[in-house]
Amino acid sequence: MQSNQLFRCAGWSAYVNVGANIIGFVSLVVFFSVGGIAGPINDSSSIFFALSLIPLALMLHILHRSLFPPISLVVTTVGVIAMITTATLQALLVLNVVQFEQTLLPVLTANAVIGGWFITNGILAHVSNTLPKGLAWWSIIAGAGLVLIIFGFWIGGQEHPLTAIGGLASFIGILIWTIWLGRLLLAGKVTPPEKNKVRIFSAVSNKAFK
């Protein structure tokens, strides 16, 4: 797949993530309220949520690898492994191959790693101006929320305030990030470095993203 095709695929993947994120959040709230089928719906949406991040991870690697080769490679590799791990464990849970208790800690840990991926890519985008500053900050907020969730679980389980705060921060952060980034990608406002000579956006060029 050529870089241009990957960037467009990443744009559509961002919107798939939006849908999976919303379904996952709503079904989780419903599950904690009344239980029932909302649980399996949440688990299923998590599969699409994790897998839809992979094209975005590859796109960001192409965007940053010329500027930060070692960091981008390591972060992308670890992030994609965490995404595949999350999707696989959630799929096994949906198929009743494993129990919820068996997947809880590994999935939370993998999501914390994905949170680190969000934070690092947000920092790289902010430092290099490869993406709008606001978009970079939302990536950092989203990642911090995912990391905060596992801290909340470690301290006091799913009812700890940090778990709720982290969950809300990650939901809102990822939602805004994927909608914004998906729109930019599909509008052709984020392009592969090979085509734009590894363009580093200045404050003036950032206006193109508005």
Mean pLDDT, contiguous 10-residue spans, the chain (210 residues): 89 98 94 85 96 98 94 97 97 94 92 97 95 97 96 86 94 98 95 57 44
Return the residue matching tokens 């900050």.
137
- Which pLDDT belongs to residue 210? 52
Gyration radius of the chain's alpha carbons: 17
Q: Which two tokens stand for residue 87?
A: 């999707």
pLDDT, residue 154, reads: 87
Q: DSSP alpha helices (H): ranges in 35-188?
A: 38-64, 69-94, 100-128, 133-156, 161-186
Is the Cβ–Cβ distance between 206 and 133 less than 8 Å? yes
From residue 55, give the alpha-carbon distance in Å to each of 122, 158, 192: 16, 30, 14
Q: Evaluate if pTM is beyond 0.75.
A: yes
Instruction: Say what the pLDDT of residue 199 is.
Output: 43
Report which DSSP code applies to 97: S
**29/35 Cα distance (integer angstroms):** 9
Rounded distance between C-alpha atoms, residue 88 and residue 98, angstroms: 11
SS3 65: coil
